[in-house]
Structure 1
Amino acid sequence: MQVPKLVETRGLTKRYPGVLALNSVDFDLEPGEVHVLFGENGAGKSTLISMLAGANAPTEGTITLNGAPVRFTSVAEAQAKGIYTVFQEFSLIPTLTVAENIFLGWEPMRGPFVDHRAMRRRAREMFKDLGFEIDPTAITASLSRAQQQMVEITKAFHGDLSVLILDEPTASLTDREVDHLFGFIASLKARGVGIVYISHRIQEFQRIADRVTVLRDGAKIGTVAMCDTDEGALVEMMTGRAIAEIYPQIARQPGALLLTAKGLKTPGLSAADLEIRAGEVLGVAGLVGSGKSRLFRALMGLVPRQGGTVTLHGVDITHAPTRAIIKGGMYYLSPDRKAEGLDLAKSSNDNLAINLVMGGTGVSRSGFINWKAVQAKSEQIADHVELHDGYRAKRVSQLSGGNQQKVLFGKCFGQEAEIYVFDEPTVGVDMGTRSALYLLIKELAEAGKAVVLISSDLPEVLNLSHRMLVLAHGRISAELSGDDMVEDTVLKYFFDESGAKA
């Protein structure tokens, strides 16, 4: 007798006015497996999991759970059946304690009152069982993103968990936290829990995935066993293009020396020396916590400098404020687009306009602003970064991660610069959007600008850079170029403090 699938969908379809978000998708999940959903932004991944989670209802098609048909009208109904989803945007209330968030709606009572002591005790027991080291009395807003994610997962264990859906769970985690999460997932698999896993980090799949289903434009392209495929094949399924076509060839035109740092020190970074030249892509790699972001935040004046000197176009900027450094021709794209890069409450056009005005576009000598000129330039930039017309008047908070990143990239064209520092520019971004952003990097470098590419995605750095810095333990452990820029060599220096030159 054939054992029924833990979850199975047949012909699952979701239509919105003028949009076919999901087109007759068949999907299944076995007990004790990790089944990855892979695809570009807008491929239908979020639509599919929203229906499994009870947050959305299909227009057509069926969902079965352990062989029995189900039709959820709410997230609570799905949770009651053992399906719990940790969405990319958490549902935690930041002003409540950890224990209060875990038991929200499930509060233990003593007569007519909430039993806070029992709540804290049971939260501690749950954390101990799951291997999480979190204080139940802590205010949730004080936790790191990784800890908040652990709290979200813990909420799933009120009932009999059978399916856990994780949406981009490692997007903001350190390598150590990722290892912890993967260990936890392995323990869930051993208990027979099925896990639906969404991620753009294709390098994780070999570690965690049993099967991968690829979606494109709302349709299922195929399902493959991870042991029978590789990254190149998955990218080609997702985009319809070979992986070699994702990374453009960037002509190297090393020009004038633009920036020099000697003995630069900041908390967590020891005596760094580096040079940045025009017309070159300088890749920067290292493990999380290696100091790769801190080095360039120190150059930008975003963290305090404790020693050393920095010159930009021959001018000493060691003690210059960030605003002066930007005016001097250096631009920094933050890895945290929501906290530092974008005004989420404003439209894409308004976000672009802010940088245009700061860069002097449409501003007369008397200080008056020609908003028509600003708007025209904003539209031109939006065209340039391939931001769809329909997204330009929308609040940035309503856009997908990939489109938010296009707006962030667009802002860098609002101010004239000679050095562009892109810190984790493609985090949480699908391959199609990445390809468009890579072409913008190519365009800048071939126009004679210097591009610094800081990334935890090693293939990205290796394929786009002319020269590389590798950081380990707060030091530059290697400077590589040419034939030395291969994965095995780079990984060796991830754990090396010798400061090698190659």
Structure 2
Amino acid sequence: MSKLIETRGLTKQYPGVLALDHVDFDLEPGEVHVLFGENGAGKSTLISMLAGANTPSEGTIHLDGEKVAFDSVGQAQAKGIYTVFQEFSLIPTLTVAQNIFLGWELRRGPFLDHRAMRKRARGMLEELGFDIDPSAIVAHLSRAQQQMVEITKAFHGDLKVLILDEPTASLTDREVDHLFDFVASLKARGVGIVYISHRIQEFARIAERVTVLRDGAVIGTVAMSDTNDDALIEMMTGRSFDQIYPAIARTEGEEILKVSGLTAPGIKAASFNVRRGEVLGVAGLVGSGKSRLFRAVMGLTPVLSGTVSFQGTDITGSATRDIIMGGMYYLSPDRKAEGLDLAKTARDNLSVNIVAGARNTGGSPFIRWRGVNTRTDEISDHVELHPGYRNKPVSQLSGGNQQKVLFGKCFGQEADLIIFDEPTVGVDMGTRAALYLLIKQLAEAGKAIVVISSDLPEAMNISHRLLVLAHGRISAELSGDDMTEDQVLKYFFDETGATQ
């Protein structure tokens, strides 16, 4: 079969850094070819050159057998290569139709023909199966709908190649299913799709082949039908699947959190406890209430009835700041919106919690910045944040390094109970392994840990006990031999099995 895209010896050299090392890659018509690798492996560099956003230092790109060179994204799009990056190129204050026709505006004489653009946009959206009002303002759309608008922009010309960069990172399960149905329809048209994702469980559903990158070089290309998750992880990290999830010793410590009959928006009569030295996993489908439950515990949403007791003190309805100062800490799943100040450096983000923890004053009303800076360096070393990244704005760091900064903030607070909500979202397996080791260290030091996760293997392999939520209720509490995938999945849809 002829190749849609073929790269030969593609290389990108920056001062002191070899970002891509003589990469050979190809894409066939009607296939999904996954690029898999850790953060910094070269995936983004490779697709940026295919998309026309970057130029190679060496090597060639061939499209339909002809050598091509792109000096801009527009040139690549003119040849039928369109990329949906993680950060969308939409203008949020414009309508859907205006975004779709940006640069392709329809005119009636010297004036823009907005009516024609809305009509044409509606037809394009309907043809692709996207139920979106072309008159809607983009800022008012969900993340999934914005992604659909971004994809629709690709259909002005003759689309040959669609590159999707982490397309499911912020989507619900239903939205993922819709996206995959759409991908299947593109394959049937002969469109080739380059797909980047850290969600390895997705590959078997949509991919024909997987190319694994490490340190800018190709480790190998395998047919998805001839491989499995364990083999891909070992190719990517150089470590076996068993080495990703550490064994965490469990000590039966004192009860630190007791929740009784908690009812809150989206939560019904939840009761459970957490002990020192244990990792309590919390699993459930998107929309099950697993995050809402602990946001209510933290005072981020109102408690309608029931009680929350922390270290023997009733904290029901307390202010979030008071709960944090009392020794409970919550790491949000959305590090950009809630967890980090992207404009500040990693050092500044870490120091905020050290100062807020009031453990640096030594009884003085003044902040002892030397002590703060020393502690910031200690935490950075502990979470393995490279010294070169510490004085950079967090917005310039990779997702994995941003997540390390987020983890580091809980060390600055010196909390007794730490709630990790989707702790590894958007990070690669290598960084995951490092973050799991931090969770292990915290638990074995006597901290109480809660891990809320939509990644079932993560929730099962990192936890001593597992709460399963369905429809806003705790449907099961599992431990030991009962923590099997079949057993957990059964309770994802059943709210009658609660053990409370």
TM-score, with structure 1 as normaliser: 0.99
Moved more, 243-252 or 91-100: 91-100
- For 2:94, give the aligned amino acid: L
Matches within 5 A, 1:36-75: 36-75=34-73
- 2:37–2:214 CA contact under 8 A, matched in 1: yes
Alignment gaps of 5+ in structure 1: none
Structure 2 equivalent of residue 263 of structure 1:
261
**1:457-476 correspondence to structure 2 within 5 Å:** 457-476=455-474
What are the equivalent positions in structure 2 for 1:414-433 lying under 5 Å apart?
A: 414-433=412-431
Aligned to 1:327: 325
1:396 matched to 2:394? The reply is yes
Of 184, 187, 200, which residue of structure 2 is paired with 1:186?
184
Residue aligning to 2:204: 206
Distance across 2 between alignment mates of 1:204 and 1:217: 23
Q: Is the 8 A contact 1:200 1:430 kept in 2?
A: yes
Residue in structure 2 matched with residue 372 of structure 1 by the alignment: 370
Partner of 1:144: 142
Which of 451, 454, 457 aligns to 2:452? It is 454
Q: Which residue of 2 aligns with 1:119?
A: 117
- Pairs within 5 Å for 1:301-380: 301-363=299-361, 365-380=363-378
How far residue 364 of structure 1 moved from its aligned partner, in angstroms, is 5.1
2:250 is paired with a residue of what secondary structure?
coil
Q: Are the counterparts in 2 of residues 475 and 499 from structure 1 also a CA contact under 8 Å?
A: no
The equivalent residue for 1:286 is: 284
Corresponding residue number in structure 2 for 1:480: 478
Runs of 4+ in 1 over 4 A off after TM superposition: none
Task: Supply the distance in 2 between the matched residues of 1:364 and 1:76 (Cα, whole angstroms).
Answer: 59
**Equivalent residues in 2 for 1:81-96 (5 A)?**
81-96=79-94
Q: Does 1:171 align with 2:169?
A: yes
Aligned-partner Cα distance in 2 for 1:351–1:388: 15
* Contact 1:348-1:392 within 8 A present in 2 as well: yes
Q: 1:224-279 CA deviation, whole Å, 9 max, x = no partner?
A: 00000000000000000111011100001021011111111111111101101110
The one-character-per-residue Cα deviations of 1:155-183 (angstroms, maximum 9, x if unpaired) are 11111101000000000000000000000
Instruction: Give, in whole Å, the separation in 1 of the partners of 2:241 and 2:273.
Output: 31
- SS in structure 1 of the partner of residue 48 of structure 2: helix
Alpha-carbon separation, structure 2, partners of 1:413 and 1:19: 32
The answer to whether the Cα contact below 8 Å between 1:361 and 1:373 also exists between their aligned partners in 2 is no
Q: Distance in 2 between matches of 1:43 and 1:497?
A: 42
Contact 2:257 2:309 in 1 (8 A): yes
Aligned Cα root-mean-square deviation (Å): 0.9
Q: Secondary structure at the match of 1:188?
A: helix
Give per-residue Cα distances to partners, 1:441-488, cap 9 Å, x unaligned.
000000011100000111111111000000011111100001000111
TM-score calculated relative to the size of structure 2? 0.99
Alignment-derived partner of residue 435 in structure 2 = 437
Q: How many angstroms does 1:366 deviate by?
A: 4.4
How many matched pairs? 500
Q: Distance in 2 between matches of 1:468 and 1:30?
A: 43
Question: 2-side partners of 1:457 and 1:284: how far apart?
Answer: 10
Q: Write the letter of the residue equivalent to 1:492.
A: K
- AA at the equivalent of 1:310: V
> In the alignment, which residue of structure 1 is the partner of 2:33?
35
**For 1:497, what is the secondary structure of its paired residue?**
coil
Structure-1 separation of matches of 2:94 and 2:301: 31
Cross-structure match for 2:273: 275
1:300 aligned residue? 298
2:498 alignment counterpart: 500
Q: Are the counterparts in 1 of residues 302 and 317 from structure 2 also a CA contact under 8 Å?
A: no
The superposition leaves residues 330-370 of structure 1 with CA deviations (integer Å, 9 ceiling, x where unpaired) of 10000000000000000000000111100114335442111
**1:361–1:374 contact (8 Å) kept in structure 2:** no
Q: What letter is aligned with 1:13?
A: T
Percent identity over the alignment is: 76
SS at structure 2 position matched to 1:405 = helix
